[in-house]
Amino acid sequence: MCGFPQRLATSAGALAGLVGIVVLLPLLAPVAVAADLLTGPRRMRWSRLLAMGVHYLTLEVIGIAVAVALWIATGFGIATCSLWSQRLHHRMQLWWTAQVLAATERWLRARVDADGIELLASGNVIICARHASFFDAVVPAVLVGRSTTDVALRHVLKTGLAFDPCLGIYGSRLRNHFVDRLPRDRGAELDALGALVADLDGAAGVIFPEGTFHDDHRAERERARIAERDPERLPRVENLRHMLPAHPGGTLAMLAAAPGADLAFVVHTGFEPFGSFRSIIANVPFDHPIRAKVWRVRADDIPAGDRERLELIDHWWQRMDDWITEHREART
């Protein structure tokens, strides 16, 4: 995971970036407006991106400043793990993620409409969420935050996300796990995921079982891998059109460690253009809202065996994929 020196460097980088962009704003703003007038005055793409950049860096600096204040308030980090400190960090995390998404809605016109968020109002649940863009890491937190502020989230995140200043700082102070996608010791990683949710006590575990963004090459590679290692599973995943088959190890480890937890599934469509900076630039402003949907399976309805649990996950994965197809066709 990104350690203290790296977090210090990325925090300094965010501050320097904000100062630099503000100082250069008298030059950058006319250039952006001129570019918009030449390439698409109705979309104002470059002006929107510039405003989004300023807004995002401002949120990073605010988050860093609050983190410093909390570090001092906890006796220079001594009481970071105390209940009151964890609650304050959790509330700040919810606020920051909500503001990031609000900024994308304001400047990039990426509005999120969600159905079923009331199902996330209580904890003791493991949330399996779709992974389609850079913004996926904040989606579960935003949806939970819209319903309640009392459910603490414990995320399984890629190590690269720790280089974002606020994600790195708050992610390291709260109970999260930054997972190595190519671990040397896979058993130790799975044990860490189990430990993350072994004592949920009203909290929620969050995992993104796809591991990375969908594209045709990755989908074909995953189907080939499953055909070789688990041919009986292939018919359950070969009809997926928009999602990669779930990597089951992490989810199964979390379910085994939290046998009384429910299982929630979060899917969305509309964030796909956020999978690369080039795609973001090409699609700003977004013409359609981002749609999200939540389902929840009670613990009593989750089978006991790993094989049966994987069948359940694959069933819901196909249902999520069908939901994406339905909403894309309706939008078209």
Tokens (6 digits) for 61: 């600096």
Is the model more confident about 225 or about 137?
225
The pLDDT score that the predictor gives to residue 184 is: 75
Tokens (6 digits) for 205: 């575990």
The pLDDT score that the predictor gives to residue 39 is: 87
**How does pLDDT run across 255-307, given as a tens digit for each residue?**
999 999 999 999 999 888 877 788 888 889 988 888 999 999 999 999 999 99
The pLDDT score that the predictor gives to residue 211 is: 87
Q: Pseudo-torsion of CA 287, 246, 259, 145, nearest 10°?
A: -20
CA dist., res. 142 & res. 140, Å (int): 5
The pLDDT score that the predictor gives to residue 22 is: 87
Q: Is the pLDDT of residue 3 over 60?
A: no
Q: Is the pLDDT of residue 326 over 80?
A: yes
Local confidence band at 228 (pLDDT 50, 70, 90 cut-offs): very high
Q: Is the pLDDT of residue 54 over 50?
A: yes
Average pLDDT on 130-139 reads 84
Q: Is the pLDDT of residue 7 over 80?
A: no
The pLDDT score that the predictor gives to residue 161 is: 82
Q: What CATH number does residue 249 fall under? A: 3.40.1130
The pLDDT score that the predictor gives to residue 5 is: 63
Q: Give the least confident one: 4-18, 154-168, 217-231, 262-276.
A: 4-18
Average pLDDT on 299-328 reads 96
Local confidence band at 12 (pLDDT 50, 70, 90 cut-offs): confident
Local confidence band at 324 (pLDDT 50, 70, 90 cut-offs): very high
Query: Average pLDDT over the chain, rounded to whole?
Result: 91
Which residue range is the domain that position 110 belongs to? 4-331
Q: Give the least confident one: 135-149, 178-192, 207-221.
A: 178-192
Tokens (6 digits) for 300: 């009593």
Q: Tally the domains of the chain.
A: 1
The pLDDT score that the predictor gives to residue 1 is: 46
Q: Is the pLDDT of residue 2 over 60?
A: no
Q: Is the pLDDT of residue 170 over 60?
A: yes
Q: Report long-range pairs for 168-172 (Cβ below 8 Å, ≥24 apart).
A: 168/1, 168/2, 168/6, 168/7, 168/10, 169/7, 169/11, 169/63, 169/64, 169/67, 170/63, 170/67, 170/89, 170/92, 170/93, 170/96, 172/1, 172/2, 172/7
